[in-house]
Amino acid sequence: MKIKKEITIYDIAKALNISPSTVSRGLKNHPHIRKETKKSIIAKAREMGYQQNKFASNLRQKHTNTIGVVVPKLDSYFMATVISGIEKITAQHGYGLIISQSQESWKKEISCISTLFNSRVDGLLVSLAFNTKNLEHFNVLLNKDIPVVFFDRVADCDGCLRVVIDNYKAGYEATSHLIEQGCKRIVHIGGNLLRNVYSERFNGYKQALADNKLEFDQVLVVISDMTGPAGTDTAKKILKMIPRPDGIFVSNDTTAVAAMVELERAGVMIPDDIAVVGFNNDPISQVIRPNLTTVDYPARQIGEIAATSLINKLKNSESANFSTLILKHNFICRQSSLRIGKK
């Protein structure tokens, strides 16, 4: 297959019998170039199929106007909504995005960071993988003063910004609500406790039990990969528990809905027999019957604020003087947790 030669400003200059510097200035709309000459240069560039090498140009200016994004998974409604918020802000400020996913793997995350660094991104927006153990792979960025903003799944990092909600408070509210509805034996389904979102929700769950004088039972805590199949498997375990639990607090809606479907298939009445609370307020929470009580996680706002914080940092290194920004969440009460009669 024949590979076509890339057209350069030298080719345009030769075709128009003018200097390459004139072509360069004309393409940049330089005020000292005559209007007729500019028109000729632009017309010839289009005719010849010239493509401006913005990457090389930006490198000469020590930036690429590109921001890297690393998320655990792209097939998550929550993460897709966060990315939509990020894209809205970056587009307004003229930044492009390079988006990658760690697929919940620490090793894959390391590879993503390396690739983005070599792509010369100006800054990075990151939500950590399930099993990320430390942040050493971010040192290559931090040592070059490339700013990093963590969102949702975050970790302590000197010089980094974090955008989160109060997951401890949300976990406490969810569990307290189940207790108010008469639940006394509450299962908690969460993710890897290395991650702040799951450890803080778990701690909120434990504190709510303690404050209401309910005994904490490790048997009622299930750590999973927070997928649909995990919800199905946990529901099967719950059906075998004696005595059977009467409440479930789940750290995401996908797992909660899968558990509800399996429980109802076995004849369990929700919420009469077992009340259920999820997390994230995904669209599926309003499709399942009964509708799922959940925590509204402001995904789009998280994306917008994370991106805004990073761009402010890029434009003025002294502008972002906070380490953690906590956004407001909302507890949404629906039919899956409203018991007809308290036991």
Angle between helices 228-240 and 253-265 (to 10 degrees): 40
Q: Please report the sign of the dihedral spanned by the C-alpha atoms of residue 294, residue 300, residue 303, residue 306.
A: negative
pLDDT in tens, 238-256: 999 999 999 999 999 999 9
pLDDT in tens, 254-274: 999 999 999 999 999 999 999
Q: How far is CA 105 from CA 102, 128, 225, 306, in A?
A: 5, 9, 12, 22
Strands (E), the chain: 66-71, 96-101, 123-126, 148-151, 161-165, 186-190, 221-223, 247-250, 275-277, 294-296, 324-327, 330-332
Task: Determine the pLDDT at residue 2.
Answer: 44
- End-to-end CA gap in the chain: 76
**118 or 59: which carries more pLDDT confidence?**
118
pLDDT in tens, 317-338: 665 556 899 999 999 999 999 9
| Residues present in the chain in total | 343
pLDDT in tens, 281-298: 999 999 999 999 999 999
Q: Domains of the chain, with CATH numbers?
A: 9-52 (1.10.260.40), 65-164+299-327 (3.40.50.2300), 167-297 (3.40.50.2300)
pLDDT confidence bin for 3, thresholds 50/70/90: very low
Q: Per-residue pLDDT for 196 more than 50?
A: yes
Percent of the chain clearing pLDDT 70 (strictly above):
92
**234 has which bridge partners?**
none
d(CA 111, CA 189): 30
- Judged on CB neighbours under 10 Å (0-12, 13-18, 19+), 215 is exposed
Percent of the chain clearing pLDDT 90 (strictly above):
70
Region 138-163: what's the mean pLDDT? 90
Q: Strand 148-151's sheet: what is its strand order?
A: 96-101, 66-71, 123-126, 148-151, 161-165, 324-327
Task: Determine the pLDDT at residue 318.
Answer: 64
Region 138-152: what's the mean pLDDT? 91
* Contact indicator for 260, 292 with CB cutoff of 8 Å: yes
Q: How far is CA 195 from CA 190, 310, 315, 332, in A?
A: 10, 22, 30, 24
- CB half-sphere exposure, 4, CA atoms < 13 A: 7
